[in-house]
Amino acid sequence: MAGKGGVGKTVVTATMARAAAKLGLSTLVIEVEGKSGLPSMFGQPALDYEEVVLSHGGGPDGEAEVRARTLTPDEALLDYLRDHGLSRISKRLVASGALDVVATAAPGIKDILILGKVKQLERMGDYDLLLLDAPAAGHAITFLQSARALLDTVRVGPINAQAQAVLEMLTDHARCRVVLVSLPEETPVNELVDTAFSLEDRVGIGLAPVVVNGLYDEIEGVGASAVEAAAAAGATLRKGEAAVLEAAAQFRADRMELQVEQTARLADQLPLAQLRLPFLFTTDIGPAELDLLADRLLGQLDQLPEVV
């Protein structure tokens, strides 16, 4: 999942995981940047490097399990060294901050450590689906480009081999796709379109349908005739209330018009299917809200041109 900061990447990651569980697909969610609200959407505490269960599978509907973990470059390096028979020196090496020194000399090394670990998890095949909650768009491009960039700087040896294997995964559209997320607003849409072309051209990565998040749902009766609708519903409006109601309805109508415009513009500029998620008027997205979002997503699957 990639997209501009704050557009809902984490919410969409959680929604996809929940939807996958309902489809019976076991999922591992991977977080790479700090703390997010993802576990709380499943009613769970913060994540760790060790896998935790976000929601148990089973039940009458045969739901699959959702697990999650974080990945950090330091821990990924420890794992890598351990897997290559170097555990004796690995702890000291990582504790000494050697990774930071190397990372300065070869930018992208931290990204490749994370992506290398993702590749290892993918090859292990313990899950039907891996969902990576990627960093914000600007960084997502550098992040996903790291493999190709490293291949140019490091031409032989284990880092080269690692970068090669990561690039193979990233460019194999059957193994890996990027889901770009946007709000139905001008700047995020522009940025999504730019990111989409950068990812395709510079990384060669496949794009899944895009997700437009935060769309206002139609409310029946709320429109130009909000006051009439309120009256029809038996509400008696006090002085001044009619004007406020009218203004609120107008605001919402304008907002929705803008959203329709931006969504159409996105479809125009980017020939990718769109999945749409509603804006939820709530302060916190918890399990109930997540369920609602997942059902909305699943309701659109049959409109997609191909199985994702």
306 Cβ contact list (under 8 Å, min separation 6) = none
Is 285 a binding residue for ligand ATP by CB under 6 A? The answer is yes
36 binds Mg ion (CB under 5 A): yes
CA distance 31 to 68: 8
Which of positions 112-171 make contact with ligand ATP (CB under 6 A)?
A: 136
Single residue of 162, 213, 259, 262 touching ligand ATP by CB under 6 A? 213
Q: Are 46 and 35 in contact (CB under 8 A)?
A: yes
User: How many CB atoms within 10 Å of residue 232?
Assistant: 10
Q: Enter the tokens of residue 243.
A: 């004007």
Q: Contact letters (x/-) for ligand ATP, 7-46, by CB under 6 A?
A: xxxxx------------------------xx---------
In terms of CB distance, is 183 or 270 closer to ligand ATP? 183
Q: Yes or no: say if 7 and 137 are a contact pair by the CB < 8 Å rule.
A: no
Q: Within its chain, how far is the Cα of 43 from the centroid?
A: 19
- Residue of 5, 97, 138, 158 that binds ligand ATP (CB under 6 A): 5
For ligand ATP, the closer CB: 79 or 133: 133
Site for ligand ATP in 244-283 (CB under 6 A): 277, 279-280
| Number of residues near Mg ion (by CB under 5 A) | 3
CA-closest candidate to residue 70, choices 7, 100, 6, 114: 114
Question: Which whole-number Å values give the CA distances from 99 to 107, 125, 193, 238, in the listed order?
Answer: 11, 29, 34, 67
Candidate residues 6, 24, 97, 299; the one interacting with ligand ATP per rule CB under 6 A = 6
229's contact among Mg ion, ligand ATP, none, with CB below 5 to 8 A by partner kind, is none
Measured over the CA atoms of residue 264, residue 298, residue 200 and residue 118, the dihedral's sign is positive
Sign for the CA dihedral angle at 37, 181, 143, 122 comes to positive
Contacts of 269 (CB under 8 A, 6+ apart): 189, 193
Residue 293 near residue 286 (C-beta atoms within 8 A) = no
Place of tokens 């395709």: 200
CB of 37 to Mg ion, least distance (A): 8
Stretch that binds ligand ATP, among 2-10, 57-65, 109-117, 245-253 (CB under 6 A): 2-10
Our finding on whether 70 is near ligand ATP (CB under 6 A) is no
Which CB atom, from 116 or from 188, has the smaller least distance to ligand ATP? 188
Find the shortest distance in angstroms from Cβ 10 to ligand ATP: 3
Nearer to ligand ATP, 57 or 287 (CB): 287
Residue 278 Cβ, how far from ligand ATP at the closest point, in Å?
A: 6
Q: Which does 8 bind (CB under 5 to 8 A by kind): ligand ATP, Mg ion, none?
A: ligand ATP
Nearer to Mg ion, 10 or 182 (CB): 10
Provide the residue type at 187 as one letter: T
DSSP string, 233-276: TTPPP-TTHHHHHHHHHHHHHHHHHHHHHHHHHHHHH--S-EEE
Applying CB under 5 A, does 182 fall inside the site for Mg ion?
Answer: no
Q: Which residues sit at the interface with Mg ion, rule CB under 5 A?
A: 9-10, 36
Residue numbers at the binding site for ligand ATP (CB under 6 A): 3, 5-11, 36-37, 136, 213-214, 277, 279-280, 285
